[in-house]
C-alpha cells in the first residue's frame, strides 16, 4: 500500500494505535517507521534525527519492531528467540553476555513463557508463538516499540494480558509504542491517541473519543456504526454497510 | 572462541571430536597393508620403521586432508543453508561445487606450475556460481521457493558441469581424469595437497567463528533480522563468499565431493538446534568424521582397489536428499 502526504508525530512516552481497514497502509507505515522501507519522499525522524542517519545497530537499540507474520528457522527455541533480541547490544562479534541472558529471561518471565523456554518455536500454538516473538522485542530493551497486530491470534485472556503488559511497559519504562490493531475497542482502551488510516491517508488522529467517530469509521471501514463510550471504554455496534 | 566457550560445547560435539580421533587411528591402521595399533606411534616417529613411509607419507596426509575437506564442506553447507534459509541447500546441489571445480580445473590446465593458486581459482569459480543463487534466494521462500532454488541449482550445475566436461575433453593431456574429478577422490593425495589447500581451509573455518552470532540473526525472516540490527544483505553475501571459499579449497584437492554439506548440517541441526555457536563446530567435526570414515571405507572395502570417496558419500547423500524433499512435500 502506498502512503502519501502523511504527517504523524508521536510524542515520547505515548501509545499510538494505528487502525484502518485491510490494506489501508498500517503495516507499510510501521515498516517505514522501522526504517525497513525507505520513503521516496519525506523523512522518518527519531528524536529529531533522520532514522537513516543512525547506524543499523544503534537504531535497533532504540527501536524494536514486531512484523505481522514473523518466521524463524525450525528448531529455534523460545529462549534462543528471545536472546536474539539482544543482538544489537554488546560487541557484534562476541556471544551474548550474562546480562543479555538475564534480560531475555526477564522478558520470558513477563510473558509467562519460562516453562516453554526450551520448546522449539514451531511447536507452540499460535498465541504462544506470538508471545515468544513479543519476548524478542521486549528483550531488545528499546525506547520505541513498533508492533504490527501483536494481539492477532491471542485468546481473550492473553489478549487482555498483552494489553496490560504493553500499558505497564509504557508506564514503568516510558517506552513509546506504535501499534497496529484490528480491534477498535483494544485501540480505545490501550492508546493515548488513535491514528485512523484509509487508502494510505491519515483521516483522523487524536484521543480515542475524538478520532473514533461514526463519520470516521464510515470513511475508514465503509460501515455505519453506533459507538457508546463509558468508563470501561468503547462499545461498538455495526448497524450496516455503506 | 575462548577456552571457556570450547569447554561449554555440548557432549555430542565432544563425541564427534572423539569419533574423529578414533576414525583417524583406524584409517592409519587399516588398508591393503594392516598396521597394528601398537606400531602406529613408532611408525609415525621413527623414520627407519618399516611402516614409516606407509603411515607418514601415504595415510597421514590423506587423513588430514579428508578431515579438512570434510570439515570445510560441512561448514560450507551449514552456512549456505542459513544464508539462503533453505535446509535443502548444499554447495554441490546448488552448483557452487561445480563452479569451484571449473575454477580449479582451469588453473590445473592453464597454470599447472602455480598449484598454490588452486584454492583461489576454485574460490572464484565458486563465487561465480553462488551469485545467481544468492540473487534468487532473497525472492524464494516456502516449499515452492525451495523447489525453485534447487531448480536454479540444477541449471547452474548444468552450465558449470558441461564446461568441466569440455575442458577435460579438449585438454585431456593436462586435466585430471574426468570421472575421479567429478565424483571426488582423495586417492594419491599427499602432504603437498595438504599445504596447497590447508591454509585456505583453516582460514575459512576461522573466518566463520566471529560471525556465529550475526549468522543467528539470519535464522529470522528478513524484516525481523533487520529489526535486531543485522545487516542482512551484507551478512548473506559474506557467508556465501566464505562458503564458496571453503568449497573451492576443498574441491581444489579432492574434486567434486558432494552431499557432505547437505547431510551433516541437517543431521546436526536436528540434534543440536540451529544456533551457530553450537552448530558450526559440530558441522566442522561431523563433516571431518564423515569424510574420514568414507575415505577409510573407500581404501579398504575393495582393497587393493580404491573406490572414489565421492561415490560412497553420494550413496548416503542421494537417498537422504530424497527423504528431505519428500518430508517437505508432505
Residue with cell 498465541: A127
Chain-chain contact of A95 with B274 (C-beta, under 8 angstroms): no
Pairwise CB contact (< 8 Å): B273 & A34: no
Residue B143 has a pLDDT of 46
Residue ranges of chain B whose CB lies within 8 Å of a chain A CB: 5, 82, 85, 87, 210-214, 216-217, 219-221, 223-224, 226-231, 269-270, 273-275, 277
Strand partners, B73: none
Q: How far apart are CA B201 and CA B198, in angstroms?
A: 5
Nearest to A60 among B227, B269, B275 (CB): B227
Residues B108 and B174 sit within 8 Å (Cβ to Cβ): yes
Residues in A lying within 8 Å of B, measured between beta carbons: 31, 34, 36, 56-57, 59-61, 64-67, 70-77, 80, 84-85, 87-88, 92-96, 133, 136-137, 140
Do the Cβ atoms of B73 and B260 come closer than 8 Å?
Answer: yes
Structural contact between residues B266 and B279, judged by C-beta atoms closer than 8 angstroms = no
Contact present, B135 and B166 (Cβ < 8 Å): no
- The domains of chain B are located at 63-329
Strands of A144-148's sheet, edge to edge?
A63-66, A144-148, A176-180, A15-20, A193-198, A201-206
Going by C-alpha positions, the residue among B225, B265, B219 that lies closest to residue A121 is: B219
Tens digit of each residue's pLDDT (9 = 90 or more) over B241-263: 898 889 888 888 888 888 899 89
Q: Can you tell me the distance from the alpha carbon of A222 to that of A12, in angstroms, rounded to the nearest whole number?
A: 33
Q: What is the pLDDT along chain B (330 residues), one digit of tens a residue?
A: 555 555 567 788 889 999 999 999 888 888 877 888 888 888 888 888 888 888 888 899 999 999 999 999 999 999 989 988 888 788 888 888 889 889 888 888 888 788 778 888 888 898 888 888 777 765 655 444 566 777 888 888 899 989 998 998 888 887 777 666 777 788 878 888 888 888 888 898 888 888 888 899 999 988 899 999 999 888 888 888 898 889 888 888 888 888 899 899 998 998 899 999 899 999 999 999 999 999 999 888 877 778 888 888 888 888 888 887 777 666
* pLDDT at residue A152 greater than cutoff 90: no
Read off the pLDDT of residues A197-216 as tens digits, 9 standing for 90 and up.
998 889 999 999 899 998 99
Could you tell me the sign of the dihedral formed by the alpha carbons of B59, B64, B69, B71, in that order?
positive
Identify the CATH homologous superfamily for domain B63-329: ABC transporter involved in vitamin B12 uptake, BtuC (1.10.3470.10)
Domain locations in chain A as residue ranges: 15-241
Q: Which residues of A touch B220 (CB under 8 A)?
A: 70-73, 84
Contacts with A140 (C-beta within 8 Å, 6 or more apart), sequence order: A60, A61, A64, A85, A86, A88, B228
Q: How far apart are CA B196 and CA B135, in angstroms?
A: 31
Kindly report the nearest CA distance between residue A213 and chain B, in angstroms. Answer: 34
Tell me the pairing of strands A193-198 and A15-20: parallel
The reply to whether residue B213 touches residue A94, judged by beta carbons under 8 angstroms, is yes
- Count, in order, helices (H) and strands (E) of chain A: 9, 10
Q: Are B298 and B307 in contact (CB under 8 A)?
A: yes
ipTM: 0.88
The terminus-to-terminus CA distance of chain B in angstroms comes to 40
Helices B60-83 and B11-29 cross at an angle (nearest 10°) of 150
The pLDDT value given to residue A1: 53
How close does chain B come to A141, measured CA to CA in Å? 11
**Coil, helix or strand at residue B283:** helix
Is B227 within 8 Å of A34 when comparing Cβ atoms? yes
Nearest CA in chain B to A134: B224
Q: Is residue B80 within 8 Å of B89, Cβ to Cβ?
A: yes
Determine the distance in angstroms separating the CA of B38 from the nearest CA of chain A, rounded to an integer: 43
**Which chain A residues are within 8 Å of B211, Cβ to Cβ?**
93
CA atoms within 13 A on the CB side of B222: 15
Q: Which residues of A touch B274 (CB under 8 A)?
A: 73-76
CA distance A242 to chain B (A): 36
Q: How far apart are CA A196 and CA A21, in angstroms?
A: 9
A13: left (phi over 0), alpha (psi -120 to 50) or beta: left
Q: What mean pLDDT value characterizes chain A?
A: 89
What sign for the dihedral angle of Cα B1, B4, B5, B9? Answer: positive
- Residues 6 or more apart whose Cβ sits within 8 Å of residue B283: B71, B74, B75, B77, B78, B264, B265, B268
Q: CATH number of A15-241: 3.50.30.40, 3.40.109.10, 3.40.50.150, 3.40.50.300?
A: 3.40.50.300
Nearest to B138 by CA among B206, B85, B63, B64: B85
Residues A39-55 have pLDDT tens digits of 888 888 888 888 888 88
Contacts of B210 in chain A (CB under 8 A): 93
Of residues B118 and A33, which shows the higher confidence score?
Answer: A33
Cα B43 off chain centre by: 30
Q: Do B274 and A88 touch (CB under 8 A)?
A: no
Gap between the Cα atoms of B191 and B213, Å rounded = 35
- The Cα B234–Cα B215 span in angstroms is 11
Report the DSSP beta bridge partners of residue A49.
Answer: A46
Distance CA B76, CA B167 (A): 26
**Cβ–Cβ < 8 Å for A79, B216:** no
Query: Can you read off the three cell numbers belonging to residue B241?
Result: 563468499
Q: What angle do CA A69, B80, B220 make, to 5 degrees?
A: 20
Secondary structure (3-state) at A126: helix
What are the pLDDT digits (tens) for B137-179?
656 554 445 667 778 888 888 999 899 989 988 888 877 776 6
Binary contact (A60, B229; C-beta < 8 A): yes
Q: Which helix (H) or strand (E) segment is A156 a member of?
A: helix A156-173
- CB contacts of B82 in chain A (<8 Å) are 73
Transcribe B161-181 into DSSP letters. HHHHHHHHHHTTTTSPPHHHH
Confidence (pLDDT) at B309: 84
Segment among A95-99, A174-178, B28-32, B229-233 with least mean pLDDT? B28-32
Q: What is the pLDDT of residue B4?
A: 57
Burial of B303 (0-12, 13-18, 19+ CB in 10 A): middle
Amino acid at each position: 500500500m502506498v502512503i502519501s502526504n502523511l504527517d504523524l508525530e508521536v510524542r515520547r512516552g505515548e501509545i499510538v494505535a494505528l487502525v484502518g481497514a485491510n490494506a489501508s497502509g498500517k503495516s507499510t507505515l510501521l515498516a517505514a517507521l522501522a526504517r525497513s522501507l525507505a520513503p521516496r519522499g519525506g523523512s522518518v525522524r527519531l528524536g529529531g534525527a533522520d532514522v537513516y542517519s543512525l547506524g543499523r545497530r544503534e537504531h535497533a537499540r532504540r527501536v524494536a519492531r514486531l512484523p505481522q507474520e514473523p518466521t524463524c528457522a525450525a528448531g529455534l527455541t523460545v529462549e534462543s528467540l528471545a536472546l536474539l533480541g539482544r543482538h544489537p547490544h554488546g560487541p557484534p562479534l562476541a556471544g551474548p553476555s550474562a546480562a543479555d541472558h538475564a534480560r531475555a529471561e526477564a522478558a520470558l518471565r513477563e510473558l509467562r513463557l519460562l516453562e516453554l523456554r526450551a520448546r522449539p518455536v514451531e511447536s507452540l500454538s499460535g498465541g504462544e508463538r506470538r508471545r515468544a516473538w513479543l519476548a524478542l522485542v521486549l528483550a531488545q530493551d528499546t525506547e520505541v516499540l513498533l508492533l504490527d497486530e501483536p494481539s492477532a491470534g491471542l485468546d481473550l485472556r492473553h489478549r487482555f494480558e498483552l494489553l496490560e503488559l504493553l500499558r505497564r511497559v509504557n508506564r514503568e519504562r516510558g517506552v513509546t509504542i506504535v501499534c497496529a490493531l484490528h480491534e477498535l475497542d483494544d485501540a480505545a482502551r490501550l492508546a493515548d491517541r488513535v491514528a485512523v488510516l484509509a487508502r494510505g491517508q491519515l483521516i483522523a488522529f487524536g484521543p480515542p473519543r475524538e478520532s473514533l467517530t461514526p463519520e470516521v469509521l464510515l470513511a475508514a471501514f465503509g460501515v455505519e456504526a453506533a459507538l457508546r463510550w463509558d468508563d470501561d471504554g468503547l462499545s461498538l455496534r455495526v448497524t450496516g454497510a455503506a | 572462541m575462548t577456552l571457556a566457550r570450547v569447554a561449554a560445547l555440548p557432549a555430542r560435539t565432544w563425541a564427534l571430536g572423539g569419533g574423529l580421533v578414533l576414525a583417524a587411528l583406524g584409517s592409519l591402521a587399516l588398508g591393503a597393508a594392516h598396521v597394528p595399533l601398537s606400531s602406529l606411534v613408532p611408525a609415525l616417529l621413527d623414520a627407519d620403521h618399516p611402516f614409516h613411509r606407509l603411515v607418514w607419507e601415504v595415510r597421514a596426509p590423506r587423513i588430514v586432508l579428508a578431515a579438512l575437506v570434510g570439515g570445510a564442506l560441512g561448514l560450507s553447507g551449514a552456512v549456505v543453508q542459513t544464508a539462503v534459509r533453505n535446509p535443502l541447500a548444499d554447495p554441490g546441489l546448488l552448483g557452487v561445487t561445480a563452479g569451484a571445480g571449473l575454477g580449479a580445473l582451469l588453473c590445473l590446465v592453464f597454470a599447472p606450475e602455480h598449484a598454490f593458486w588452486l584454492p583461489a581459482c576454485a574460490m572464484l569459480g565458486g563465487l561465480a556460481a553462488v551469485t545467481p543463487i544468492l540473487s534468487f534466494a532473497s525472492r524464494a521462500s516456502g516449499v515452492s521457493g525451495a523447489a525453485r532454488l534447487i531448480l536454479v541449482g540444477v541449471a547452474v550445475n548444468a552450465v558449470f558441469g558441461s564446461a568441466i566436461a569440455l575442458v577435460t575433453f579438449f585438454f585431456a593431456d593436462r586435466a585430471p581424469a574426468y570421472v575421479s574429478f567429478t565424483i571426488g577422490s582423495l586417492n594419491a593425495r599427499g602432504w603437498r595437497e595438504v599445504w596447497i589447500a590447508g591454509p585456505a581451509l583453516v582460514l575459512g573455518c576461522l573466518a566463520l567463528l566471529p560471525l556465529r552470532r550475526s549468522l543467528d540473526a539470519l535464522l529470522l525472516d528478513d524484516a525481523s533480522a533487520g529489526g535486531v540490527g543485522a545487516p542482512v544483505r551484507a551478512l548473506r553475501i559474506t557467508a556465501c563468499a566464505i562458503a564458496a571459499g571453503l568449497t573451492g579449497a576443498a574441491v581444489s584437492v579432492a574434486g567434486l565431493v558432494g552431499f557432505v554439506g547437505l547431510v551433516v548440517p541437517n543431521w546436526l541441526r536436528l540434534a543440536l538446534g540451529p544456533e551457530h555457536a553450537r552448530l558450526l563446530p559440530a558441522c566442522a567435526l561431523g563433516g571431518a568424521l564423515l569424510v574420514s570414515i568414507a575415505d577409510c571405507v573407500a581404501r579398504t572395502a575393495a582393497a587393493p582397489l580404491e573406490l572414489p570417496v565421492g561415490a560412497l558419500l553420494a550413496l548416503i547423500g542421494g537417498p537422504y536428499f530424497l527423504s528431505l524433499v519428500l518430508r517437505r512435500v508432505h
